[in-house]
Amino acid sequence: MQKQVEQFLKQRGMYYADMDLSVECQKFIEEMKQGLNGEACTLDMLPTYLSVANKIDTNTPALVIDAGGTNFRVGCVTFDDAMQPQVSNFSKTQMPGIARELSKKDFFGKMVDLTKKVAETTEQIGFCFSYPTEIDKDKDGTLLRWTKEVKAPEVVGERIGENLVAGLKEVDGKDRGVVILNDTVATLLGGKGITSHRKFDGYIGFIFGTGTNACYIEEIQNIAKITDAKESTMIINMESGAYGKLPRGAVDEAFDAKTANPGDYQFEKMVSGRYLGPLLLDLLQVAAKEGLFSEECNKALLVLGSCGLIDLNTFMCNPHDRSNIIAKCVKVETDCTFLYEIIDAMIERAAKACAITLSSIIIKTNTGLDSARPVGIIGEGTTFYKLKDFKEKLDYYMKAFLVKEHGRHYEFIKGEDLNLIGTAIAALSNK
């Protein structure tokens, strides 16, 4: 059965073993360099103008906003004299623009409504905005494009912080400072904040949830496309989900063509939580059309209208639970095994692809050579922690390639509310 699955995936250019880590990392690193030079490539490599070395104001509240791929979170964060964060007035709603298309006025109006109560307590705003945004020297940012199927086209090209601050000023007349940062950057800052007692040879922020992205700390001398930075190092938001040089198969390409932004964010559409479920359903239905399963299972799969990653993960955790929509398609035991093997192989492909991203960063920055001072990788996202065997598979490829072949060392860091903590750190240390 494994051989049949291997052949099926190979024929469609979607077999994980056909990705050569060494070759793919070389390609990825070249894209990183081109992005830093301002050359045309698939990695934005966005400067953040944020440092990890500035002092944090204590006993000063910050309004913290987290606009993610699914949720819109708001709260107030204060650091005490011992640098322990205190979170209050926390709330969570759906991200505006997910349920329906919004105009610019409605989009920012909704944000003002969701934040104005907490904003009464502070004049400092940290805004974790998880979409491709070009950051300016004043720490505000201009939205480059939407991802994750958000529908608010009039907001593209707008300065996010400026519009929010203007809306809040109409409510209470206060002037406020704002720092815009990506969720990946907030994760890095939050992870560094909770590990201040340790010595790491660099940090990577890694998001693997609804979408995927990575950021890291780069030497200013390597960022040729900017010339006005004051610090010696700067966090770079890679927008790694947009990477477009990874080998794709026919099902990948057909699936991409059906999305809201065909051609964009190819890497994200191959691996992340929002896309992996429907992509796998397309792949399973291709297999069903070719008669890979029993006749009854083929028919059941072909009429399956939708399938999310949660459904697939539930099946992988217990493939014999017939209450699951995938397991309901199983008619004979070989169906169950074939389904499991295909899904498992695609999770393995996602893990290997992410290993390429993380390994490339560490090799490119020449970090992690001392086992006592590894690179800290701050991982965040439900998919990262809950997708069956993903983290173990990722760790396997990184140990086999990065540690054994390149002598580099890393350590995964986990913490609570890292986005909120990191966003507050940005607001209170980068004014």
b/e per residue 116-146 (b: at least 16 CB within 10 A): bebbeebebbbbbbbbbbbbeeebbbbbebb
- How far is it, in rounded angstroms, from Cα 290 to Cα 407? 44
Q: What letter would DSSP give residue 246?
A: S
Mean pLDDT by 10 residues, the chain (431 residues): 93 97 98 97 94 82 89 92 87 92 95 94 91 90 88 95 96 93 93 89 95 95 87 92 97 95 95 96 97 96 94 96 94 96 98 98 98 96 95 97 97 90 88 62
DSSP letters spanning 388-422: TTHHHHHHHHHIIIIIHHH---EEEE--SSHHHHH
Question: How does pLDDT run across 71-106, given as a tens digit for each residue?
Answer: 899 999 999 888 888 889 999 999 999 989 999 999
- Cα angle value 297/294/253 (rounded, 5°): 65
Does the pTM surpass 0.95? The reply is no
Q: Which two tokens stand for residue 290?
A: 């070719």
| Cα of 365 vs its chain's centroid, Å | 20
Please report, to the nearest 10 degrees, the dihedral formed by the alpha carbons of residues 384, 217, 46, 261 taken in order.
Answer: -10
Query: Are the CB atoms for 237 and 316 separated by under 8 Å?
Result: no
Percentage of the chain lying above the pLDDT 90 cut? 82
Beta bridge partners of 117: none
Q: Which two tokens stand for residue 392?
A: 């173990």
Helix (H, G, I), strand (E, B) or coil at 118: helix
Give me the half-sphere count of Cα atoms (radius 13 Å) on the Cβ side of residue 122: 25
Give the per-residue pLDDT at 189.
Answer: 94
Give the per-residue pLDDT at 214.
Answer: 97
- What letter represents residue 249's amino acid? G
Give the per-residue pLDDT at 52.
Answer: 81
- How far is it, in rounded angstroms, from Cα 350 to Cα 339? 17
Question: How does pLDDT run across 297-325, given as a tens digit for each residue?
Answer: 999 999 999 999 999 999 999 999 989 99
Query: Are the CB atoms for 188 and 205 separated by under 8 Å?
Result: yes
Beta bridge partners of 88: 76
